[in-house]
Amino acid sequence: MAAVQGGMGDADIKTDIKTEPSADGFGNNNANDGRVLSASPGSSSSTGSNKQTAAVTPEDQQTLLAVLQFLKKNKLSESVEILRREAGLPENSLDPKANESAGAGSGGAAGIVDLEGGDASSLLSRVTGSSSAGAQAPTKAAVAEDQPDVSVVLSAYSQQGDPTLYKVYYRDLKKFIETVLDCHRAELSQVFYPLFVHMYLELVYNNHESEAKAFFEKFSGDQECYYEEDLRILSGLTKKEHMRGNETLLDFRTSKFVLRISRDSYQLLKRHLQERQNNQIWNIIQEHLYIDIFDGMPRSKSQIDAMSGSLAGEAKREANKTKVYYGLLKEPEIELPLDDEDEEAENEEGKPKKKKPKKDSVGSKSKKQDPNAPSQNRIPLPELKDSDKLDKIMYMKEATKRIRLGPDNLPSVCFYTFLNAYQGLTAVDLTDDSSLIAGGFADSTVRVWSVTPKKLRKVKSAADLNLIDKESDDVLERIMDEKTASESKIMYGHSGPVYGISFSPDRNYLLSSSEDGTVRLWSLLTFTCLVAYKGHNYPVWDTQFSPYGYYFVSGGHDRVARLWATDHYQPLRIFSGHLADITCTRFHPNSNYVATGSSDRTIRLWDVLSGNCVRIFTGHKGPIHSLAFSPNGKFLASGATDGRVLLWDIGHGLMVGELKGHTDTIYSLRFSRDGEILASGSMDNTVRLWDAMKAFDDLETDDFTAATGHIHLQDNSQELLLGTYTTKSTPVIHLHFTRRNLLLAAGAFNP
Amino acid sequence: EISSHSRFDPCHLNGSHDGILCFSSKCDLDFVCVSTRGYIYRPVCFLVSAMAEERRQKHCSVVLPTESMKAMAESVGVGQLQEDSCVALSEEVSYRIKEIAQDALKFMHHGKRRKLTTSDIDNALKLKNVEPLYGFQSQEFIPFRFASGGGRELHFYEEKEVDLSDIINTPLPRVPLDVSLKAHWLSIEGMQPAIPENPPPATKEQQKAESTEPLKVVKPGQEEEGTIQGKSQGTTTPDGKGKEKGLIRLKPRSTHELSVEQQLYYKEITEACVGSCEAKRAEALQSIATDPGLYQMLPRFSTFISEGVRVNVVQNNLALLIYLMRMVKALMDNPTLYLEKYLHELIPAVVTCIVSKQLCLRPDVDNHWALRDFAARLMAQSCKTFSTTTNNIQSRITKTFTKSWLDDKTQWTTRYGCIAGLAELGSDVIKTLIIPRLAVEGARIKAVMEGPVVSNIDKIGAEHVQSLLLKHCASVIAKLRPQPDNVDQYRTDYGYLGPMLCSHVMKARTQAALQAQQVNRTTLTITQPRPTLSVSQSGLSGSSGPRTPSIIKVPSSLTLMSPRPGTPSQPSPPATKYIVMATSAGAASTQQVILFFTTTPGNLSSQSASPVTSTVPSATSTLQPLVKLESGSGAGLTASRPLQKYIVVSLPSSASSSLETKSSVLPTSISSSSLDGGMKLERSESPGASTQSPH
């Protein structure tokens, strides 16, 4: 790998890890601020291997001082302490001369991020600085007002060139690329889109409106079709004033567009530009593009197309180099005392023989430590309660009755149709044991249904609870109020459509995220709201409980995902780096990682421990609306509005498959319990089943592929497609495999 | 951000008027949001539609016309707006509105909808920290009015003044139904059960396409089954369309296999339909009339009916004939079935029930007339639905009826049937074919009624014909003839029937007048009797009983609405398929049919009048099924033998292609039902498949 520009390396790493999105409620600190501050959680983490601390340039130090100044002014002494410690600044470094730089604009955001940094070092320790709560919510109004940062960002465009020459330059380059050898053409064509965008923006910034328009009309048709949506946004932008506060544009500026080009092709381009003295283009390439050069054969058009499409180009190779512990955690060993009696009662003969090997297999599986698994206590996990153990036992029992699925043994699909939803069903979730189903609705309600004969009951009132004999064996049964039994319960509390919903693994809680910017935690014993987690301020598109409970993740319009613990009212981690809305969030089965899908058409994998982004997957051509981890934790499947499902190898950081077939947004993905079948549900009213085993078996994970990240996808969607089941007129928005591998699907009938 | 999933088609977008306010889209984006003070919705609407335009014209930026700016400025009281400021404003506003529209689409996507709503725009406004406009939640489409004058064009929304007391005094609308949850099986071990909750396996269009263009590529689902069948039978048919190498495109083999569940269903249904329990029959008929998944079983049903009619006509089993006709009715009522392919079997059966000389054991007592009426109505219904210029069903049927009616030797029963069949075809047919013959027919009736008593049966027949003629002709004549009804005039015009007709016509006129009043007063009363059949015969209450909405739990495991799918039920044994050999009726009929054919020619009136008789040649010549005649759609067939071609089923051509080698296996006594023959073929081809049957 070779970074093109000298001295670019370290700064790049930082932007990559955390690019603070400006111009939203979260913070409007300028670019430099963003880098340094957001890097702090990383640097403070105990994982080591962070070079950032070493690379604090004088300029950054200046900024740090400014931030310290600000914090002190706001009496956030604790934060000052922490930040100073982290940055290794002397006690008395806070001198007034650093006043002028950043303070005014950065609002409370600096405080938050910084607190995050402090919090990160001890994950579960409470955020003690309660005084910081005031700084928590930066006012929206401030955003709309003056934005010095934006002008800083944009000023890069202020170079004056002859506006009429832009066309000539671009056409020149186009001609050149069209005449190069075929093998280089596909690679060099990647340059077109970012160049086009930046040239257009330069024209607009310098008030050459008509030239910009002409330039756009002339060359926008040449761009790849998957950039169409961005181009449409761009086409609306015709004035310098529009550039302020335009998020797409800021993304373009703040993050370098990443291209992967082979050394030969790059040399070719460089030579051409130097020969032609085409400084305009060369400058853009230098300043706004990140060209990731690799040695070897240039990639083919299909290879490039498979990986491109995201808002900011492909992922840099080193972005996916971090080791990811994708293995599963060791299952706690639980005695199965109940097992014997029950099974023997069920069928008497032949059982004792069978049971022993079965038990062994379960045991051996959990005893062996997966080499790829994180250490058991990498993330502190909640202790198992007795009820959890009981549930685990139930799970194991069910698992023994699980149907082995395969291409010849397809799962049955039971469809839960929501009738009379009036287009209002926005989210669905099922408990792991498939006993409850919850729906989030556009009218702000959350409804829970019991799909077993067991009805939903509330706990008795406090007065009645006092009368109960607490020593009795069936106290848990006695606390329930029989009078409240019903098949469904409605929970009111949100003030906007509910977009995300998730049951806790122990079935005692339910999370819901809403347009009103809150995530609410509901008790399924009392059917009341327990906590409203505030922090997003903008619509929260998705939320999910960790598979071990306690933690949960949420992501929304503010482009950050937050990791929370149920007993903290503030987030434990903020995962920031996406360039557009976070549309879906998923926990890795081992709870150590979180995957987020975004409207910027990338998927990121975040380390819960350090808060770092450890994987960036590009290749989707539309906003990603569904994610699913394979049960073994090795693979990730993602579905987007483009109707394609992409499969990713987490360990190698590679795309390993593409499943084409859906014609509309894929809203749900789920692997069967043993990972043999992948089910996808879509807006096109179909459930499709894919042969996941085969898709992952055919992998070519030789060293070369792993090293270069070049993939050769064969188009075998048709072979992998095992079944398509059409509903009458019901978009499929949720899928769930029961513990015995029966597939449950849900959606609202749409007459 | 306007994704490809939401394509906008502006209703009317032209030039420059102040904001296009309404538009609909392909994907039901038919929201409208306007307000007199809503500067935002209006432009949003305009721009969204404009952006749709933009899609087509490749990204050229569309902006609001400056005219609109002026109009809007005026509406908020700013009189004179400089041209420059208008331009600047419109550009700025257009840009902002595009932003809002893009955000609104985001909300639509997350709401998992295809329809953009006003609340999406409200939410997008909230994102921009703009106060949303409250009170524009109308779900319906609000039409826009267009006005022009003074050189300006205006689209506006008519806001009516609402009297609050009116609203208060109107009763509350019904509470909308609450959200509820319903479970059904979308698929059982990879197979999608054919239940009402699932889309029909083959849509009507698909069935139609398949029958009219058999060489076209069939839909994947069916094709798959076809290939599975091909494999299981070990034939050399190329599997799958895609892999077809040769240039010869074989007509896809129609499926002759049913799953175990379908076989069970078929057995249950047919037994219930002809069984003795009326409640069960009602359920079965209801199931036939509503179930969407019967497509596969249609050939069986159609054979069952046609064979059943053959047998029971011979045996004069009126009750069974009635049941079979009710089955036909149910099949025709099923909206998901495309019956064209099976008319060649169904029509002869129905026509037989109309015109057969004898339908019951005691023609003097039993009410076989009702059956004839019912079947005649069925015939009329199928003429209405299926008659096309290519198959000419109606004209051919009409010819058949007329021909046998005109024959002097025709029995009264057949005569009755012919007249009933014609009369049901509508007033035009009555006018042109029946009324001119009233005099002749009257004379014939007179001969029987007033002449020497020949036989009681003839007399009853004549009576029935008379009342039938009176019933149908009266209303038509009432419309045809001018008001004063003169008995003598009638007598001269219509002969013997004249006086009776006259009184009937007068009755019809008064009734019509009465009804007209009733219509004025209340709602329309349906005078047309429903084509249900009620028979009072030998202890069989033939009337269609109250139909319970629930159907027989067709293969009970299929419709299982498991309230707790958490326990994976074993829905069905692995789908071992085997072939249904023949229907019980069909199997039994082989003998009967031959017997029937030898006896009927004498029974039935004459030459080719009855469709059943016309089947004789095809039945007696043993290899007739090899002669593949096109079913119903054959246009160039001569009128002289109009129905013959119905009888000979076109064999599935793949079967006929293999017939060359297998024809020796064909039983020589094969009945006219060549479908039966086809099935026998199937059987002989695949002994393995039939032995697979589990029990």
ipTM for the whole complex: 0.77
Confidence of residue A340 (pLDDT cuts 50, 70, 90): very low
pLDDT tens, A259-313? 888 888 888 888 888 887 777 788 888 888 888 888 878 888 888 888 888 887 8
Report yes or no: A191 and A269 within 8 Å, Cβ to Cβ. Answer: yes
Report yes or no: B225 and B239 within 8 Å, Cβ to Cβ. Answer: no
3-state secondary structure of B238: coil
Q: By mean pLDDT, which of B139-143, B280-284, B531-535 is the weakest?
A: B531-535
Return the higher-pLDDT residue of A569 and A183: A569
Query: For A423, which of B113, B187, B562 is closest by C-beta distance?
Result: B113
How many whole angstroms separate alpha carbon A149 and alpha carbon A23?
9
Q: Which of A238, A415, A691, A737 to mutate to test the interface with B (most CBs of B within 10 A)?
A: A415
Q: Taking CB atoms and an 8 Å limit, are A728 and B184 in contact across chains? A: no
Of the spans A178-182, A593-597, B253-257, which averages the highest pLDDT? A593-597
Q: What is the pLDDT of residue B139?
A: 57
Strands in A582-587's sheet, in edge-to-edge order, are A582-587, A593-598, A602-607, A613-618
User: Using CB atoms and an 8 Å cut-off, which of residues 124-143 of chain A contact chain B?
Assistant: 140-141, 143
pLDDT tens, A521-547? 999 999 999 999 998 889 999 999 999
Q: Is A367 on the interface with B (CB under 8 A)?
A: no
How many whole angstroms separate alpha carbon A412 and alpha carbon A404?
12
Q: What is the pLDDT of residue A524?
A: 93
Report yes or no: A577 and A19 within 8 Å, Cβ to Cβ. Answer: yes
Nearest residue on chain A to B203, alpha-carbon basis: A728
Return the higher-pLDDT residue of A714 and A263: A263
Nearest residue on chain A to B88, alpha-carbon basis: A239
- Give me the phi and psi of B658, to 5 degrees please: -85, 0
Helices (H) and strands (E) in chain A, counts: 26, 31
Return the higher-pLDDT residue of A417 and A161: A417
Nearest residue on chain B to A667, alpha-carbon basis: B112
Return the higher-pLDDT residue of B510 and A501: A501
Q: What is the pLDDT of residue B588?
A: 34
Q: Is A160 on the interface with B (CB under 8 A)?
A: no
Q: By mean pLDDT, which of A281-285, B301-305, B496-500, B684-688 is the weakest?
A: B684-688
Q: Taking CB atoms and an 8 Å limit, are B199 and A231 in contact across chains? A: no
Q: Taking CB atoms and an 8 Å limit, are B184 and A414 in contact across chains? A: yes
Q: Which of B6, B58, B112 to mutate to test the interface with A (most CBs of A within 10 A)?
A: B112
Query: For A499, which of B110, B119, B568 is closest by C-beta distance?
Result: B110
- Is B661 domain-assigned? no
Report yes or no: B136 and B119 within 8 Å, Cβ to Cβ. Answer: no
- Is B277 domain-assigned? no
Q: What is the pLDDT of residue B675?
A: 37
**Which H or E element spans position A285?**
helix A279-288
- Is B437 domain-assigned? yes
- Is B559 domain-assigned? no
pLDDT tens, A155-205? 556 555 677 778 888 888 888 888 888 888 888 888 888 888 888 888 888
Q: What is the mean pLDDT of residues B156-169?
A: 80
> Residue B425 to residues B41, B390, B461, B635: CA-CA distances in angstroms?
56, 19, 22, 21
Amino acid at A411: P
How many whole angstroms separate alpha carbon A617 and alpha carbon A613?
11
Confidence of residue A497 (pLDDT cuts 50, 70, 90): very high
Confidence of residue B408 (pLDDT cuts 50, 70, 90): confident
3-state secondary structure of B94: helix
High-pLDDT (> 70) share of chain A, %: 74
Q: What is the mean pLDDT of residues B478-494?
A: 80
Helices (H) and strands (E) in chain B, counts: 27, 9
Q: Taking CB atoms and an 8 Å limit, are B566 and A233 in contact across chains? A: no
Q: Is A266 on the interface with B (CB under 8 A)?
A: no
Kindly report the CATH number assigned to the domain that includes residue B392.
Answer: 1.25.40.770
Residue B416: CA atoms inside 13 Å, Cβ hemisphere, count? 31
pLDDT at B597 over 50: no
pLDDT at B285 over 60: yes
Domain tally, chain B: 1
> Residue A241 to residues A150, B60, B85: CA-CA distances in angstroms?
11, 19, 15
Q: Taking CB atoms and an 8 Å limit, are B179 and A419 in contact across chains? A: yes
Confidence of residue B527 (pLDDT cuts 50, 70, 90): very low
Query: For A725, which of B58, B115, B186 is closest by C-beta distance?
Result: B186
End-to-end distance of chain B based on CA atoms, in angstroms?
A: 60
How many whole angstroms separate alpha carbon B596 and alpha carbon B603?
10
Residues of B with Cβ-Cβ distance to A434 under 8 angstroms? 565-566
- Per-residue DSSP letters for A451-482? -SSSPEEEEPPHHHHHTS-TTSTTHHHHTEEE
Query: For B91, which of A217, A238, A434 is closest by C-beta distance?
Result: A238
Q: What is the mean pLDDT of residues A229-251?
A: 76
Token pair in block for residue A700: 């070519």
Q: What is the pLDDT of residue B233?
A: 37
Amino acid at B331: L
Confidence of residue A702 (pLDDT cuts 50, 70, 90): low
Q: Taking CB atoms and an 8 Å limit, are A499 and B180 in contact across chains? A: no
- Per-residue DSSP letters for B429-485? HIIIIIGGGHHHHHHHHHHHHHS----HHHHHHHHHHHHHHHHHHHHHHHHHS-S--
Nearest residue on chain A to B566, alpha-carbon basis: A434
How many whole angstroms separate alpha carbon A76 and alpha carbon B315?
103
Could you tell me the residue range of the domain that residue B408 belongs to? 303-517
- Is B134 domain-assigned? no
Amino acid at A471: E
- Nearest-Cα distance to chain A for B190, in Å, is 5
Place of tokens 């009465």: B514
Three-class HEC string of A157-211 = HHCCCCCCHHHHHHHHHHHHHHHCCHHHHHHHHCCHHHHHHHHHHHHHHCCCHHH
How many whole angstroms separate alpha carbon B101 and alpha carbon B104?
5
Q: What is the pLDDT of residue A597?
A: 95
How many whole angstroms separate alpha carbon B397 and alpha carbon B568?
54
- Per-residue DSSP letters for A74-92? TT-HHHHHHHHHHHT--GG
Query: For B1, which of A233, A409, A742 is closest by C-beta distance?
Result: A233
Cβ contacts of B247 within 8 Å, gap of 6 or more: none
CB neighbour burial string for A375-385, b if at least 16 within 10 angstroms, e if fewer:
eeebbebeeee
pLDDT tens, A619-657? 899 999 999 999 999 999 999 998 999 999 898 888 888
Amino acid at A672: S
**Which H or E element spans position A418?**
strand A413-419
Q: What is the mean pLDDT of residues B375-381?
A: 90
pLDDT at B615 over 50: no
Query: For A420, which of B59, B115, B176 is closest by C-beta distance?
Result: B176
- The candidate with the shortest Cα–Cα distance to A626, out of A652, A675, A592, A659, is A659
Token pair in block for residue A213: 């328009």
- Is B584 domain-assigned? no
Nearest residue on chain A to B3, alpha-carbon basis: A229
Q: Taking CB atoms and an 8 Å limit, are A434 and B566 in contact across chains? A: yes
- Is B343 domain-assigned? yes
Q: By mean pLDDT, which of B60-74, B357-371, B504-518, B635-649 is the weakest?
A: B635-649
DSSP letter (8 states) at residue B191: B
Query: For A418, which of B54, B181, B192 is closest by C-beta distance?
Result: B181
Contacts of the segment B122-129: beta carbons below 8 A, 24+ positions apart? B123/A496, B123/A497, B123/A515, B123/A539, B124/B100, B125/B40, B125/B100, B126/A515, B127/A538, B127/A539, B127/A557, B127/B103, B128/B99, B128/B100, B128/B103, B129/A140, B129/A141, B129/A143, B129/A144
Q: Taking CB atoms and an 8 Å limit, are A731 and B99 in contact across chains? A: no
Return the higher-pLDDT residue of B684 and A447: A447
- Is B431 domain-assigned? yes
Mean pLDDT of chain A: 77
How many whole angstroms separate alpha carbon B644 and alpha carbon B639?
10
Nearest residue on chain A to B181, alpha-carbon basis: A418
Q: Taking CB atoms and an 8 Å limit, are A539 and B123 in contact across chains? A: yes
Return the higher-pLDDT residue of B299 and A127: B299
Cβ contacts of A177 within 8 Å, gap of 6 or more: A185, A188, A189, A191, A192
Mean pLDDT of chain B: 65
